[in-house]
Structure 1
Amino acid sequence: MRDVSEKQAADDKVAVVIVAAGRGARAGQANGPKQYQQIGGGAVIARTLGAFLTHPKIGPVVVAIHADDGALFRRAAGANADRVVAVTGGTSRQESVRLGLLALRSNAPGRVLIHDAARPFVDAELIDRTIAAIGERQGALPALPVADTLKRETAEGMIGETVSRAGLYAAQTPQGFPFWPILAAHEKAHHLGKADFTDDAAIAEWAHIPVKIVPGSPENVKLTWARDIAMADQRLSSASRFPDIRTGNGYDVHAFEPGDHVTLCGVAIPHDRKLSGHSDADVGLHALTDALLATCGAGDIGTHFPPSDPQWKGAASRIFVEHAAKLVRARGGRIANADITLICEAPRVGPHREAMTETLSAILRISLDRISIKATTNEKLGFVGREEGIAAIATASVVFPGDVPE
């Protein structure tokens, strides 16, 4: 087992432990463990990973896998396998969680989410609600009120009594906790040989860690039986007939300062001034970055590349666009087109439009005919008209594969 590196850990990020070491016998073994079975053209675990890796509040992700599943995990996770830490899990869910938490210990996060790999329909809103409820000494449990009438069975298989469902909830994951208290609770249970907890909220209860209930999601089902896998696959396959097409917009502006060129849409253009900014101040690519991030609810450029961070001083803005495009693809998105309007009195954009289009085609990995770069003046009005700076507006369209209500 290897620990999460210092580079991965961040105080303002929330770590995640995904439990994926089980054999999933109830789902049938014909197609392998349930977390690696196919739904909607991808592995269950790949969809689960995508939900967390694209969330702006999530930092290091640890996946506890079975000792025999290393190659299987890498195939299922694809490029995301290199973005997580895979550790060998234990013989029970409880032990796998403990080992996953230990992998975070050397560079511990403040908060951690613990999630079952077999819940691939977790969404950003549920993750947000859970994170928001975690306190210094308080955990958070997404749950749904029990809706069905409950019966207690007798030894003879008869109804013994009707159980009141008032105050009863069905627990879901991710369950969230302050890191050190939940690790200490797992370690204490391990050393005392208590291995019968069915979820982490139960361990927290035993360790006297308060846990707040937050609204769960009916969509956040756990795939347990073979029919669950089949229904999830049908759900995603049906959704694919109604593609999830999203459009994002971005806007950016930078002022001029002394210099000899401006960088627009990745192309250096000779000019009597340059644009002022922490990076190379490429307004076109900055606006496009925000447009792409908007299509998957991943925040804005400042969320991922804060101007207060010295490592981005003078950075080429193509780095930002490539990062945004990678997040889109991790969610299964396909970039359909990008449209950028540059608003300036000077320099002239027309002679450089072809080079800009080719640059964006290479960055986004889409054909030239899916890229539009236009320029207009501001008719001498406002700060742009006074040639004090350049503005840009960008629009991006992305096709995602799932979950569109009819």
Structure 2
Amino acid sequence: MSIRPKSIAVIIVAAGKGERAHSEGTAHPKQYRTVAGRAVLARTVDAFLAHPAIATILPVIHSDHAEAYAALKLEDTRLRSPITGGATRQASVLEGLKALAPERPDLVLIQDAARPFVSPKQIEQVLSALESHDGALPTLPLTDTIKRAPDGREIAITEDRRTLFAAQTPQGFRFGQIFSAHMRAATVRREFTDDAEIAEWAGLRVAMTTGDRDNFKITHPEDFRRAERHILGDKAMETRVGTGYDVHPFEPGDAVFLGGVRIEHTAKLQGHSDADVALHALTDAILGAIGEGDIGVHFPPSDMQWRGARSTIFLEHAGKLVSERGGRIVNLDVTIVCEAPRIAKHVPAMCTVIAQTLGIKASRVAIKATTSEKLGFIGREEGIVAMASASVEVPRDE
């Protein structure tokens, strides 16, 4: 068994402007924005300070961010004063390597500042892989089908995702080898996407270690909500409840739509769309939970494009609004009141349609049916009533 070198340095690349993560009213670079009260960059530094094998940590920052970095008030004997990076990530890493050259560490880990959730286990796996390889990085197998389209419009080929992996950081190397490779790469007219690509180009042997889906890179505004949830768990979310009620009369026909399912009957429900009273009530319940008005606000009956439309369109829209807020649907409950048709045998199909429309498990959907005991317009079989409730979790700062 080989002995691990004693001198291990970390370069934290924080020289980007983080513009893709800007949201309305927020122009602060993402690495200096806070997640659960602490800046992203500070959390990334913390992750490496927590590992006892790390001897040196060197932040590489943008020339405009000196004051923002100083405001973090990071202090530790292993933490070096930040240096200024270059115009690209590749150039910034090279500046970091040059700054570390006088110390000549045995190993160097290169970490994206925007990945604050790297775990001790991942760091340890990369260091262990460097005992037998020139380089190492955590990776994740791809789960989506990958299409290649050179013109960005028409698919040319479907890639074999079994051979494709998503790269994460830290990417670790033997210092002398990656420094030499970076110096050579700087002389060619080509921009490399990460340090592992430079190592591959230079002929170094790079191992893959097991990645972690929690080690995600904060890139877009919605990633901050995900980061808050990762740290705070349920404390970052709040539960909201909405209710919905709808009624439609019968008119001559041969079937009704209820819960997205066509049910043969001696009449149909009257309405501008397919008059699915259950989905209308459910859509209103979801919209109410997130303060988005009712179905008529989003799909006015005066708009002829919705004439005869399937109500699953309305439900899908409500679910999309929840997702756009970083929320999730916890459970849905629908009660259908009618004398006829009989509903019970259609309930499993309704739950399936609703679940598939919203991208949730069918076990989160409950549908019940009852009668009005022959009382009122329901009892006279003049129409159908539906009542619904929706429980939704959304980020607390929504």
TM-score normalised according to structure 2 size? 0.55
> Which of 201, 204, 208 is 1:206 aligned to?
201
Instruction: After TM superposition, give the deviation of residue 79 of structure 1 in Å.
Output: 3.1
SS in 1 for 2:108: strand
Instruction: After TM superposition, give the deviation of residue 150 of structure 1 in Å.
Output: 1.1
Runs of 4 or more consecutive aligned structure 1 residues displaced over 4 Å after TM superposition: 239-242
Distance 1:19 1:195 in 2: 20
Give the aligned residue type for 1:186. Answer: H
Partner of 1:231: 226
Contact 2:7 2:105 in 1 (8 A): yes
Partner of 1:14: 8
Equivalent positions of 1:182-197 (< 5 A) are 182-190=178-186, 192-197=187-192
Contact 1:113 1:174 in 2 (8 A): yes
Instruction: After TM superposition, give the deviation of residue 103 of structure 1 in Å.
Output: 1.0
Partner of 1:26: 20
Contact 1:141 1:174 in 2 (8 A): yes
Distance 1:156 1:126 in 2: 35
Distance 1:164 1:136 in 2: 28
Distance 1:109 1:23 in 2: 29
Contact 1:140 1:212 in 2 (8 A): yes
RMSD: 2.3
Give the aligned residue type for 1:203. Answer: I
SS in 2 for 1:83: coil
Which string of whole-angstrom CA distances, capped at 9 and with x for unpartnered residues, describes residues 338-396 of structure 1? xxxxxxxxxxxxxxxxxxxxxxxxxxxxxxxxxxxxxxxxxxxxxxxxxxxxxxxxxxx
Instruction: After TM superposition, give the deviation of residue 99 of structure 1 in Å.
Output: 0.5
Contact 1:63 1:85 in 2 (8 A): yes
Distance 1:24 1:218 in 2: 21
> Which range is displaced more, 206-215 or 71-80?
71-80
Give the aligned residue type for 2:199. Answer: A
Contact 2:228 2:236 in 1 (8 A): no
> Which of 40, 45, 69 is 2:65 aligned to?
69
Distance 2:169 2:57 in 1: 15
SS in 2 for 1:79: coil
Identity level (%)? 42
Partner of 1:53: 49
> Which of 28, 32, 42 is 2:38 aligned to?
42
State the aligned residue count: 232
Contact 2:139 2:211 in 1 (8 A): yes
Partner of 2:303: none
Give the aligned residue type for 1:231. Answer: R
Which string of whole-angstrom CA distances, capped at 9 and with x for unpartnered residues, describes residues 308-345 of structure 1? xxxxxxxxxxxxxxxxxxxxxxxxxxxxxxxxxxxxxx
Give the aligned residue type for 1:21. Answer: A
Partner of 2:92: 96
Partner of 1:177: 173
Contact 1:145 1:169 in 2 (8 A): yes
- Greater radius of gyration (CA): 2
SS in 1 for 2:136: strand
Instruction: After TM superposition, give the deviation of residue 154 of structure 1 in Å.
Output: 5.8
Which string of whole-angstrom CA distances, capped at 9 and with x for unpartnered residues, describes residues 168-189 of structure 1? 1100000000000000011111
Query: Structure 2 vs 1, CA of residues 225 and 163 (structure 1 numbering), >3 Å: closer, same or farther?
Result: same
Query: Structure 2 vs 1, CA of residues 156 and 207 (structure 1 numbering), >3 Å: closer, same or farther?
Result: closer
Instruction: After TM superposition, give the deviation of residue 11 of structure 1 in Å.
Output: 5.6
Instruction: After TM superposition, give the deviation of residue 22 of structure 1 in Å.
Output: 0.2
Distance 1:183 1:62 in 2: 15
Query: Structure 2 vs 1, CA of residues 173 and 134 (structure 1 numbering), >3 Å: closer, same or farther?
Result: same
Distance 1:77 1:117 in 2: 16
Contact 2:55 2:78 in 1 (8 A): no
Distance 2:219 2:73 in 1: 20
Distance 2:94 2:152 in 1: 39
Query: Structure 2 vs 1, CA of residues 151 and 81 (structure 1 numbering), >3 Å: closer, same or farther?
Result: farther
Contact 1:182 1:204 in 2 (8 A): yes
Instruction: After TM superposition, give the deviation of residue 92 of structure 1 in Å.
Output: 0.4
Distance 2:27 2:41 in 1: 14
SS in 2 for 1:106: coil
Distance 1:222 1:38 in 2: 15
SS in 2 for 1:58: coil
Q: Does 1:167 align with 2:183?
A: no
Instruction: After TM superposition, give the deviation of residue 205 of structure 1 in Å.
Output: 0.5
Instruction: After TM superposition, give the deviation of residue 65 of structure 1 in Å.
Output: 0.3
| Larger RCO, structures 1/2 (Cα 8 Å, 6+ apart) | 1
Q: Does 1:106 align with 2:102?
A: yes
Instruction: After TM superposition, give the deviation of residue 155 of structure 1 in Å.
Output: 3.1
Contact 1:46 1:77 in 2 (8 A): no
Give the aligned residue type for 2:205. Answer: P
Q: Does 1:78 align with 2:74?
A: yes
Partner of 2:335: none
Instruction: After TM superposition, give the deviation of residue 105 of structure 1 in Å.
Output: 0.7
Give the aligned residue type for 1:24. Answer: G
Instruction: After TM superposition, give the deviation of residue 82 of structure 1 in Å.
Output: 8.1
Contact 2:39 2:72 in 1 (8 A): yes
Equivalent positions of 1:261-280 (< 5 A) are none
Query: Structure 2 vs 1, CA of residues 114 and 82 (structure 1 numbering), >3 Å: closer, same or farther?
Result: closer
Unaligned 5+ segments in structure 2 are 238-398
Unaligned 5+ segments in structure 1 are 1-9, 243-406
Query: Structure 2 vs 1, CA of residues 218 and 203 (structure 1 numbering), >3 Å: closer, same or farther?
Result: same
